[in-house]
Structure 1
Amino acid sequence: MKHILIIGAGFAGLWSALGAARQLDKHGRDDVQITVLAPQAELRIRPRFYEPDVHTMAAPLQALFDAVNVRFVQGSAEHIDEAGKTVRYRDADQQLESLGYDRLILACGSQLNRPPVPGLEQAFDVDTLESAARLETHLKALANQPDSPARNTVVVAGGGFTGIETATEMPARLRAILGQGVNPRVVVIDRGAQIGAALGDGIRPAIEQASEALGVEWLCGATVAAVDGNGVELCNGMRIEASTVIWTVGFMANALTAQVNGERDRQGRLHVDGHLKVKGSEAVYAAGDVAYAPCDEVGNFAVMSCQHAIPLGRYAGNNAAAELIGEAPMTYSQPKYVTCLDLGAWGAVYTEGWDRKVSPPTDKTEAKALKQQINSVWIYPPAPERASALAAADPLIPVA
């Protein structure tokens, strides 16, 4: 029996498995085994980790895998042997095991970039469920500390998508913990020359309005030089006393990409062809945050987001299975790009296009409702019912 091995159970890994299962089911094939290798059989809803109650933000997958005949193996991949078509991994007991494959789909995601900033290990982040839970525990414990400017101050390093959503959610989170009479201070440190510079001019006015309304401060053209238990030192010599520092600056593809022969971009993502096979590889596909994939014909590439990871997974799974059973692959295409940025109690902003032009019919309240729908429904896995789950894995289903 032939074997498709998928590393990762995030958005790209889950939908790779469903995409492959759909392709095999469509042609009545039962001679290809699909295996997902990941630390846990659950989809962790990473785009929501800036919110409170992070312990609720994981969806179980075992019943869904069972419904579509996907085998789950618990473990963490450590080494990819392309020549031998095997992957070595540590199982739940930390024993070294291996799995062979005929086609490998690398869908192991990304991780927060951690440059050599002194004291950075003392900062919090919302990169993983565990680290976001650690931040939440810390925030709740602030209520036990004496009232002080440092206690009531949160510094968010990084003014990109994650940093903005984290910062604009923070005033409400802090008031819920410390009391409505507390006036929290939230400061975003960003190297960009303007507020929201990483997201462009189109979306900036909404970010500025929300920040002003919520009392979120921005220090632009600045970077963090050092972190300690009482705050941060900036490269311009300024110091901010803060009990809470949250790092959101930059993401890199999983380090496993370095073990695959192929060209990588500056974030470590593997260059793939239109079928999502790693360029120059005979048996390895990439999907989600590890894939540098052209998504249209005018030079745009998929970004690290579930908006792209879900269809990338569908196509990668479909094509890996199609290749093994002699069917024609499908060329990945996702020309539409939208953004729905959560801006805390102020609302949200919805944009369309790579230049992020605000969509006039969607005001901040409508955009907030849309964001809540995305976060609570759209990005969750389908129900563990075979027919509907496989139907949902059709690569031609529009995401945005």
Structure 2
Amino acid sequence: MKRHILVLGAGFGGVWSALSAARLLDLNGSTDVQITVLAPQAELRIRPRFYEPNVHEMKASLAELFDATGIQFVEGVAANIDTSGKRVEYIAAPGVHSWLSYDKLVLATGSRLNRPAIEGIERAFDVDEIETAACLERHIKALADYPESEARNTVVVCGGGFTGIETATELPARLRAVLGADAKVNVIVVDRGAEIGAALGKGISPSIAEASAHLGIEWCLDASVAGIDTNGVTLADGRHIQAQTVIWTVGFRASSLTEQVPGERDSLGRLHVDANLKVLGQNDIYAAGDVAYAATDDEGHYAAMSCQHAIALGRHAGNNVAADLLGVPTTAYRQPKYVTCLDLGEWGAVYTEGWDRQLKLVKEEAKTLKGNINSIWIYPPIAERATALAAADPSIPVA
């Protein structure tokens, strides 16, 4: 009977884990190991683009890619991990529960937006999933049917981090496309920071401030949301902002499946892993993507919850889980180069290098780079075996 590598999740970490494992098995002529990906859909959802319009297009089918590379796909939602029995329970359809056994497991189930216990939080939209982003898109398109008012034309974005900024700077154009080119639209970012873009550091914040001024985006600083109602947002200091659209972008946590794996976790729920991305204290479980708390270098930096890191983490986790089974040398995960490319709507974009975010490109130059990242670089390889497996080499730099 074939030995079994089970990969949970078909996001960036999961897809590249499966491909990288297949690559190493192929290089070693191994035919007695089966790779299975368990996920709700056989598609890579391009989550970094969910702030854009036409969000239903932000996905790439994986069926042909998996067929070309000999990776088995099982449709279902992982529900329970039995680490002692080395098996995973999953829900294949409502009321249908099944189990998959494994010799080695790669946990790559990603992260989710964390909604705090704030009154009315259920009224807020988000761009965390295709389905929720599509709900926001339908709402924006429907605004034209509402009577004109300041509240109708106002969107409050809760959170001034990466997701909040990209969402906010895209909104003026999206709103005018619906309400008219001359419509007076109001986009307000509510953020705890003392300065615009403070969460992203001094190297990048001046560009965010310039873009915000150019686009007419208002920042409500040193502020937090106390409640959301049908008329808008109430801040902790008692101020109320009238808005018919509120978008929540604050706080992400690793998949709750990490809680079923004995091991140390960081404040975001990510499992501590060694240099090979094996979960500390576990012999047969690896982690990739947003569920892995992994050192990128020897200077105290750890992988961020981003596709930039998830792709490289997947390439290494898949390689090493296969190497573990085959008894061949592993490849330690290291990703010393870190870049940031932040979309800033019609103003352009900003590109920085290093953890201190040294400014390299702005406006149109950075926007062109961002376009390549979003439409080419983060998509899966073509469904041709040799090309796809070669693309999963862990020695390939991501940034």
**What's the TM-score bracket when you normalise by the shorter of the two chains?**
over 0.9
- Who is 1:13 aligned against? 14
1:260-275 → structure 2 map (5 Å cutoff): 260-275=261-276
Q: Cα offset for 1:363?
A: 3.1
- Who is 2:394 aligned against? 395
Q: Cα offset for 1:93?
A: 4.5
Q: Cα offset for 1:357?
A: 1.2
| SS across alignment from 2:13 | helix
Code of the residue aligned with 1:4 in structure 2: it is I
Question: Which whole-Å deviations, capped at 9, do the CAs of 1:211-244 have from their partners, x for residues lacking one?
Answer: 0000000011100000112201000100000000
Tell me the distance in 2 between the aligned counterparts of 1:181 and 1:74. 47
Q: Cα offset for 1:297?
A: 1.0
- Who is 1:225 aligned against? 226
Code of the residue aligned with 1:377 in structure 2: it is I
Matched, 1:144 2:145: yes
| SS across alignment from 1:345 | helix
Tell me the distance in 2 between the aligned counterparts of 1:30 and 1:296. 34
Question: Which whole-Å deviations, capped at 9, do the CAs of 1:274-315 have from their partners, x for residues lacking one?
Answer: 000000101100000000000011110000000000010000
Q: Cα offset for 1:317?
A: 0.4
| SS across alignment from 1:194 | coil
Matched, 1:177 2:178: yes
1:1-400 → structure 2 map (5 Å cutoff): 1-359=2-360, 362-400=361-399
Uncovered stretches (5+) of structure 2, i.e. residues with no partner: none
Q: Cα offset for 1:119?
A: 0.5
Tell me the distance in 1 between the aligned counterparts of 2:109 and 2:134. 21
Code of the residue aligned with 1:211 in structure 2: it is S
Code of the residue aligned with 2:236 in structure 1: it is C
Question: Which whole-Å deviations, capped at 9, do the CAs of 1:231-265 have from their partners, x for residues lacking one?
Answer: 01000100000000000001000000000010000
| SS across alignment from 1:236 | coil
Tell me the distance in 2 between the aligned counterparts of 1:93 and 1:226. 34
| SS across alignment from 1:351 | strand
Uncovered stretches (5+) of structure 1, i.e. residues with no partner: none
Question: Which whole-Å deviations, capped at 9, do the CAs of 1:109-165 have from their partners, x for residues lacking one?
Answer: 000011101100010000000000000000000011111000000000000000000
Tell me the distance in 1 between the aligned counterparts of 2:293 and 2:137. 33
Q: TM-score, normalised by structure 2?
A: 0.99
Q: TM-score, normalised by structure 1?
A: 0.99
Question: Which whole-Å deviations, capped at 9, do the CAs of 1:17-49 have from their partners, x for residues lacking one?
Answer: 000000000001010000000000000000000
Identity of aligned pairs, percent? 65
Code of the residue aligned with 2:302 in structure 1: it is F
Q: Cα offset for 1:201?
A: 0.7
Aligned residues: CA RMSD: 0.6
Tell me the distance in 2 between the aligned counterparts of 1:182 and 1:364. 25
Tell me the distance in 2 between the aligned counterparts of 1:399 and 1:23. 19
| SS across alignment from 2:76 | strand
Code of the residue aligned with 2:309 in structure 1: it is H
Code of the residue aligned with 1:89 in structure 2: it is Y
Distance 1:237 1:93, change over 3 A: closer
Tell me the distance in 1 between the aligned counterparts of 2:95 and 2:289. 27
Tell me the distance in 2 between the aligned counterparts of 1:326 and 1:94. 40
| SS across alignment from 1:91 | strand
Tell me the distance in 1 between the aligned counterparts of 2:12 and 2:362. 29
Code of the residue aligned with 1:150 in structure 2: it is A
Q: Cα offset for 1:92?
A: 3.0
Tell me the distance in 1 between the aligned counterparts of 2:78 and 2:229. 33
Code of the residue aligned with 2:284 in structure 1: it is A
Tell me the distance in 2 between the aligned counterparts of 1:38 and 1:228. 35
Tell me the distance in 1 between the aligned counterparts of 2:340 and 2:60. 24
Tell me the distance in 2 between the aligned counterparts of 1:176 and 1:302. 37
